[in-house]
């Protein structure tokens, strides 16, 4: 990359087109530093932490720890999309898993924003009713036709992630066929964006996510990381979910997902430099520290 290219990219960091703010329900997340979203999978079968936090008491303890380590958002999920092919759960079972946990986190930590990771409008509505401020839909509004209306009515923050297929296939390679992965992902995300905006969701509530590892082989995830400037140029904050994913394992030879922390941190710091602002991670302390230092260096480089 030329020196001109570097300064062009850092100037994008200085003046984010979205104004540096993300409206989330009655709150606002200021994107004047990297935002860390801590992952709380209340599932028996998620790929790297399944079963650990299925008990509501342990799940809330885990949230408290991530908040102490610097998480700005806690993302609660009750349905796995694991790469081995996930078992879809019904809305009632999903709600039973997530609602007691969300209720307790909102009660104990009212200043932290809770996000609900779901593709089901019913679950999203129930979570928003308990005080969640963000809906993280890994289908980008493709799966449940009611999702956009629920989010619009609530005025919540929305994460539109790129994926293909349903809950049981989106984490696999079944739909990972692309001529030009960047063009396809940007085009398909633009479709999610149109659905959101035409349902009355304000642009200031929307965040875009390239969906690393979702219907993407490792080379596709890497291409999407490299294309963050193009994604950010759409004018919405960019969220990255690199944490412990297969592409990190493929790049490092580390087979055990929980041991991919350093690789995750590397992906996040590179993502920050390319224009991503929100980072969904299992290991909050490590990414918080690395991102804060990288941000300070970038700020000093702009002076
Ligand atoms: N990845 C997973 C689940 N939810 N949400 C967003 N917005 N982005 C992601 O990359 C993402 C997600 C799968 O990972 P996990 O099973 O470790 O939670």
pLDDT in tens, 78-131: 998 877 767 788 999 999 999 999 999 999 999 999 999 999 999 999 999 999
Selected catalytic residue, list 95, 245, 246, 277: 245
Mean pLDDT of the chain: 92
Mutate to test the pocket of ligand 1, among 163, 241, 283 (most ligand atoms within 8 A of CB): 241
Q: Is the pLDDT of residue 204 over 60?
A: yes
Confidence of residue 13 (pLDDT cuts 50, 70, 90): very low
Closest residue CA from atom 10 of ligand 1: 241
Q: Where are the alpha helices (DSSP H) in the chain?
A: 3-14, 56-68, 91-108, 121-129, 147-154, 181-198, 218-226, 228-232, 246-252, 261-274, 284-302
Domains located in the chain, CATH noted: 34-302 (3.20.20.20)
Residue 243 CA: nearest ligand 1 atom is 17
d(CA 174, CA 85): 10
Tens of pLDDT, residues 33-79 = 999 999 999 987 666 676 777 788 999 999 999 999 999 999 999 99
Mutate to test the pocket of ligand 1, among 161, 221, 261 (most ligand atoms within 8 A of CB): 161
Q: Catalytic: 9?
A: no
Tens of pLDDT, residues 251-268 = 999 999 999 999 999 999
Supply the pTM of this predicted model: 0.93
Residues 116, 98: contact at Cβ < 8 Å?
yes
Widest distance between CA atoms in the chain: 54
pLDDT given at position 80: 85
Burial class (CB in 10 A: 0-12, 13-18, 19+), 113: buried
């Amino acid at each position: 990359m030329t020196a001109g290219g570097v300064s062009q990219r850092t100037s994008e960091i200085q003046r984010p087109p979205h104004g540096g703010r993300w409206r989330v329900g009655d709150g606002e997340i200021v994107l004047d530093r990297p935002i860390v979203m801590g992952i709380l999978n209340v599932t028996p079968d998620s790929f790297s932490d399944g079963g650990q936090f299925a008990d509501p008491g342990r799940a809330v303890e885990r949230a408290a720890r991530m908040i102490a380590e610097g998480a700005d958002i806690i993302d609660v999920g009750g349905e796995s999309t694991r790469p081995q092919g996930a078992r879809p759960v019904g809305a009632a079972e999903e709600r039973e898993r997530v609602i007691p946990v969300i209720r307790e986190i909102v009660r104990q930590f009212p200043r932290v924003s809770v996000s609900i990771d779901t593709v089901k409008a019913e679950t999203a509505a129930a979570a928003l009713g308990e005080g969640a401020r963000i809906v993280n839909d890994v289908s980008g509004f493709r799966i449940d036709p009611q999702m956009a209306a629920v989010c619009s009515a609530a005025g919540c923050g929305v994460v539109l992630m790129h994926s293909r297929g349903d809950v049981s296939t989106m984490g696999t390679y079944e739909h990972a066929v692309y001529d030009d992965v960047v063009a396809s992902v940007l085009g398909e995300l633009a479709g999610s964006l149109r659905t959101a905006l035409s349902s009355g969701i304000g642009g200031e509530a929307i965040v875009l996510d390239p969906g690393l590892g979702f219907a993407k082989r490792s080379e596709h995830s890497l291409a999407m990381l490299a294309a963050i400037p193009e994604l950010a140029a759409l004018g919405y904050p960019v969220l990255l979910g690199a944490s412990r994913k297969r592409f990190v394992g493929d790049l490092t030879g580390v087979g055990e997902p929980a041991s991919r922390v350093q690789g995750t941190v590397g992906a996040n710091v590179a993502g920050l430099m390319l224009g991503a602002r929100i980072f969904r991670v299992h290991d909050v302390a490590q990414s918080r520290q690395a991102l804060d230092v990288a941000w300070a260096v970038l700020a000093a480089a702009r002076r």
